[in-house]
Structure 1
């Protein structure tokens, strides 16, 4: 992707990579929760996710959706990029991210791969390159929080749902919207889509309310 040399992998190797990502993500969620002095019940209350879902994530028995990661990042006060795998760079730079040093997160069950384009340090925005496989999506329900989101379609098609209205975006199209607008996205085509995605961060994001909690509790991928 993006000019990177691609080494073919067999199915067994890919499954191994997925397992490593799943285990690392679970350990990260657990350590962040413990560092914050929170119980699984506390995180469930803050996110609207079920205690069973959080327990499965921590034990590497489930992979989250993009939306679930956002809920966890808000509850644990870290950027989503905190959940990404570490870069192979010997000395990560403070302000610069080289193409071959991007941190990567595979959300296999959701058909989404996210590459962090911003450095690991906390900031006011996050920048990603998203790769959506055919049928890939942010999850099964709408999500909303404070801040803004914007993006640019590099290739393929993205169906962006804003306040329950679908907008099909093609290569060269772009968007921006307040994150409080209920939103989700998917790739309804048979071609891979690539998107530059920008999210502004707000430390005052509220936990999911009752209606959202019921929806998020169903999100097990």
Structure 2
């Protein structure tokens, strides 16, 4: 809840309605001074005042309490990707983090390496796209060789395993929902 600035939200909604501070204060039956203090973060409005402001501004009361999205935090620069290295596998996280319902990563699988000893399952649904090389994929009891440009959807709880039995490295782009690695 650290990204919530009620005053900035009040000001944003006020400006979107084309109201001056004085006009909103009058409609909400608070002093212009109090409204100014609220908008500048110097005073916290009571729940009753928030309800009145919401009604006058024609927005739901809870809209003042939603966290702000810092759009800069949504960007992942190529040289700042988080990396997870497990044995010889490298995962580069393309998503900013594991919060939310979706995570996307690049898995680099060197020659003669597999994602696990035995096929594993997880609760997340997965879609993978082979960027480079070839890779063997075990889906339940079946085996497939996927090449660059091929893709696969892996339903939740389906046992699977990635294995690079080929000479060149394989690079796999995948998304998982919900995030589970």
Q: What SS class does the counterpart of residue 95 from structure 2 fall into?
A: coil
Q: For 1:152 and 1:194, how far apart are their aligned partners in 2?
A: 9
Question: Which ranges of structure 2 fall in alignment gaps of 5 or more residues?
Answer: 1-70
Question: Which ranges of structure 1 fall in alignment gaps of 5 or more residues?
Answer: 1-91, 204-221
Q: For 1:182 and 1:121, how far apart are their aligned partners in 2?
A: 22
Match of 1:190 in 2: 167
Tell me which of 138, 142, 166 is aligned to 1:165.
Answer: 142
Contact 1:152 1:196 in 2 (8 A): yes
Match of 1:94 in 2: 73
Q: 1:168 to 1:105 in 2, by over 3 A?
A: same
Contact 2:137 2:160 in 1 (8 A): yes
Aligned length: 110
Give the superposition deviation at 1:142: 1.5
Of Structure 1 and Structure 2, the greater helix share is in 1
Q: Report which of the two structures shows the higher radius of gyration computed on alpha carbons.
A: 2
Which has the bigger relative contact order, CA under 8 A and spacing at least 6? 1
Give TM-score, length-normalised by structure 2. Answer: 0.57
Of Structure 1 and Structure 2, the greater strand share is in 2
Query: Once superposed, which parts of structure 1, at least 4 consecutive aligned residues long, lie more than 6 Å away?
Result: none
Q: Deviations over 1:2-43 (max 9, x none)?
A: xxxxxxxxxxxxxxxxxxxxxxxxxxxxxxxxxxxxxxxxxx
Q: For 1:168 and 1:124, how far apart are their aligned partners in 2?
A: 29
Match of 1:122 in 2: 99
Q: For 1:167 and 1:158, how far apart are their aligned partners in 2?
A: 8
Contact 1:151 1:176 in 2 (8 A): yes
Q: For 2:179 and 2:164, how far apart are their aligned partners in 1?
A: 27
Match of 2:130 in 1: 153
Q: For 1:130 and 1:93, how far apart are their aligned partners in 2?
A: 25
Q: 1:136 to 1:202 in 2, by over 3 A?
A: closer
Tell me which of 104, 113, 123 is aligned to 2:83.
Answer: 104
1:181 lines up with 2:161 in the alignment: no
Contact 2:103 2:179 in 1 (8 A): no
Q: What SS class does the counterpart of residue 96 from structure 2 fall into?
A: coil
Q: What SS class does the counterpart of residue 100 from structure 1 fall into?
A: helix
1:142 lines up with 2:124 in the alignment: no
> Aligned-pair RMSD on alpha carbons?
1.9
Give the superposition deviation at 1:146: 2.0
